[in-house]
């Protein structure tokens, strides 16, 4: 038996996207589902991992309050959403460092919204860096990163 996928939560995502657009308008840069729903292996009680890219203040308290509010708000759409807000600069830095979370997002993601191809370009860059640095996925969630790549 296969798990649930994005198609199974389309109505939930449509509602969430409508609300994100209402609140952030043109400041919304990208929205990406990652994790089990993107892989098609979600279970009925799985949460929906959502990466929201937009301009953000450099105040972590404000960002965490925003994430908490949208995670809570997501419940009204019939699913449990785990919402992570990041700035475009944070995504670009994570790509350049081939950060563990970015490796997982690279491996299993579905782009829901992508203003001007920002996220697509980040994924293309990530693919290039993975090959260039000799990074390999050993199994789901486990990546082999050469020591020469790990920042000191």
Residue pLDDT, tens place only, 63-93: 888 889 888 888 887 788 899 999 999 999 9
Q: What is the pLDDT of residues 26-36, one digit of tens each?
A: 999 999 999 99
5 with 79: CB under 8 angstroms? no
Q: Is the pTM of this model over 0.85?
A: yes
Taking only the tens place, the pLDDT of each residue in 89-121 is: 999 999 999 999 999 999 999 999 999 999 999
Among the listed residues 91, 113, 101, 104, the one whose alpha carbon sits nearest the alpha carbon of residue 137: 104
Residue 2 pLDDT level (bands cut at 50, 70, 90): low
Enumerate domains of the chain plus CATH numbers.
6-143 (3.30.460.10)
d(Cα 27, Cα 135) in Å, to the nearest integer?
Answer: 33
Report d(CA 94, CA 113) in Å as an integer. Answer: 19
């Amino acid at each position: 038996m296969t798990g649930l996928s994005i198609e199974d939560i389309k109505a939930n995502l449509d509602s969430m996207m409508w609300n994100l657009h209402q609140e952030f308008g043109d400041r919304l840069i990208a929205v990406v589902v990652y994790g089990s729903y993107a892989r098609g292996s979600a279970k009925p009680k799985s949460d929906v991992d959502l990466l929201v890219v937009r301009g953000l203040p450099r105040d972590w308290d404000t960002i965490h309050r925003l994430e908490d509010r949208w995670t809570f708000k997501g419940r009204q759409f019939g699913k449990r959403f785990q919402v992570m807000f990041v700035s475009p600069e944070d995504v670009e830095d994570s790509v350049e460092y081939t950060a563990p979370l970015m490796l997982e997002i690279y491996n299993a993601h579905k782009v829901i919204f992508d203003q001007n191809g920002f996220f697509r370009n980040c994924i293309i860059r990530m693919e290039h860096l993975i090959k260039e640095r000799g990074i390999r996925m050993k199994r789901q969630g486990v990546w082999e990163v050469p020591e020469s790549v790990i920042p000191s």
